Structure 1
Amino acid sequence: MRLCEARVILTGASGGIGVAIAAALCASGARVLAVARRGEALAPLIEQYPQHLCWVSADLTQLTDRRKVLSAAQAVGGINLLINAAGVNHFAMLEQLEDSEINTLLAVNVSAPICLTRLLLPLLKEADSAMVVNVGSTYGSIGYPGYATYCATKFALRGFSEALRRELADTRVNVLYVAPRATRTSMNGAAARALNEALKANVDDPHTVANAVIHAISGDRRELYLGWPERFFVRLNSLLPQLVDRGLRKQLPLIRHLSHKTDPENLKP
């Protein structure tokens, strides 16, 4: 896809990865409808790229707001790129979560992108060439303790991406699934950051992720898994899951200890 010809709906645009993707798209000449509940983080970009970037205030868990996004897309003459980057996370053992917190994860990470994609598909199909990009996670391929519900949502998004790609195989709409590893954003609370530090996990800058996503879109890729050795662990988990089971069991005491210090702020979309 030629980014200078892209007309984009970008969800989660006020988050760390979202802002970085918006900046990269605008710099490439794309026209972007940035969807987010709050627009403060986008203000500098809107000032820098007034002809390329527009903020649409929306809570994508609500049908009325999803229809607002559709109306905005129709008003600019349609779209050829939908990037579902909105998401929430919560590092906690399953028994530490309330039903309301579980439902929020499911609504934001699974229901919202599926429902928004369904609503926008007719517009995407009208384009000469179009793409749906779903931003998942390495945890969409590796079930990790302390993230059971989050993993469930990202496994679901990965499955949705695969099935939708096959469903649209005889159309001009491609589907790209993106799986970042740990990324330095506000979505990770203090406990999650402490776990990453204790495990000496690799943590990417949002701009690194955004640049990789942009290159994958330009190259009409189908999948993008970021980071090494994370890509290796994804493959290992698919071939020898019991080996990964044994490795993760050794981390359980640390995970349980840090999960009791979890910060609910990371559950805000």
Structure 2
Amino acid sequence: MSAPIAVLTGASGGIGSAIAKRLAARNYRLILLGRDLPALEQVRQQLPSDEASYHLALQVDLSKDADISRVVDLLGDIGRCDLLVNNAGVNTMVPFGSLSKCDLDAALAVNVRAPMLLTQGLLPLLQQSGGTIVNIGSSFGAIGYPLQAQYCATKFALRGFSEALARELSDTQVRVKYFAPRATQTAINSDKVTALNKALGNAMDTPEYVAEEFMRLLDSDERRRSVGAKESFFAKINALLPKVVDNALAKQLATIKQLMR
């Protein structure tokens, strides 16, 4: 039997590259997707394989329909897809009023529209293989946070999509999972964001730790997994008693605005 095929978006980022290494160690053949081809090639060359072309790196812009179609067509030619990991994401932590239309369009296109279109395009192959879809969200997919309006909106949407699709496909062999990391030490977080997390006492995980938690979700029968006990508890309070979270974040607002100027 040939090796299972995994499609991984955002594969050159910190979380993406860490997940790629763990999947390759499980004998997955990886289709690595991202905008930075040299960075993708660097990740690919670090993965274990018997052949130089075993894993593939494909430069794509997931905000473009034509590039998404290229991915779907490539997997159609291969004839197999066992795992789709929608990991790519963009974020800019700024006041909502200062966001440009391009910023909003990019967040919606990459964080929401691309995962939905890729999932839709690859679903027939995933149904054939009894495969798995994992959508990488965020703790901000359950908690609205100041200066993160567009990011929270997209991650809330991704969480809703994951939950609805998992229930829709519950009578099939396809598994749909949602994974929510907390703050992670990656390039998506600016120096200001890192300083803010430090000032507020927020934990920041390594990509390697996040990848380990991802594999625990992948190996389990769970549909969803959040990283961080504090963040998970905060999300539950937000769902049940949102005013408590309103008051807690109001006390942090001055610090957030000051450090993110």
Q: Which residue of 2 aligns with 1:225?
A: 226
SS where residue 229 of structure 2 aligns?
coil
CA contact (8 A) 1:19 1:41 kept: no
Is 1:67 the counterpart of 2:69 in the alignment?
yes
Q: Which residue of 1 aligns with 2:79?
A: 77
Which 5+ residue runs of structure 1 have no aligned equivalent?
261-269
Amino acid aligned to 1:28: R
TM-score by length of 1: 0.91
Structure 1 residues 200-242: Cα deviation after superposition (integer angstroms, max 9, x where no partner): 1100000111111112112232001001211111111111110
Structure 1 residues 159-191: Cα deviation after superposition (integer angstroms, max 9, x where no partner): 000011111112111100000000000001122
Identity percentage over the alignment?
Answer: 44
CA contact (8 A) 1:17 1:185 kept: yes
User: What CA distance in whole angstroms lies between the structure 2 residues aligned with 1:242 and 1:5?
Assistant: 50
CA contact (8 A) 2:111 2:154 kept: yes
Q: Which residue of 1 aligns with 2:18?
A: 20
2:88 corresponds, among 86, 89, 108, to: 86
Which structure 2 residues correspond to residues 116-265 of structure 1 after superposition, within 5 A?
116-127=118-129, 129-260=130-261
SS where residue 222 of structure 2 aligns?
coil
What value does the CA root-mean-square deviation take over the aligned residues?
1.4
User: What CA distance in whole angstroms lies between the structure 1 residues aligned with 2:15 and 2:37?
Assistant: 14
2:111 corresponds, among 94, 109, 120, to: 109
CA contact (8 A) 2:34 2:40 kept: no
Shift of 1:5: 4.9
Shift of 1:42: 3.2
Q: Which residue of 2 aligns with 1:265?
A: none
Task: Count the aligned residue pairs.
Answer: 256
User: What CA distance in whole angstroms lies between the structure 2 residues aligned with 1:201 and 1:207?
Assistant: 18
**Structure with more relative contact order (C-alpha pairs < 8 Å, separation 6 or more):** 1
Amino acid aligned to 2:115: P
Shift of 1:38: 1.1
Q: Which residue of 2 aligns with 1:266?
A: none
CA contact (8 A) 1:81 1:130 kept: yes
User: What CA distance in whole angstroms lies between the structure 2 residues aligned with 1:93 and 1:44?
Assistant: 35
Which 5+ residue runs of structure 2 have no aligned equivalent?
none
User: What CA distance in whole angstroms lies between the structure 2 residues aligned with 1:46 and 1:114?
Assistant: 25
Shift of 1:92: 0.8
1:40 corresponds, among 29, 38, 41, to: 38
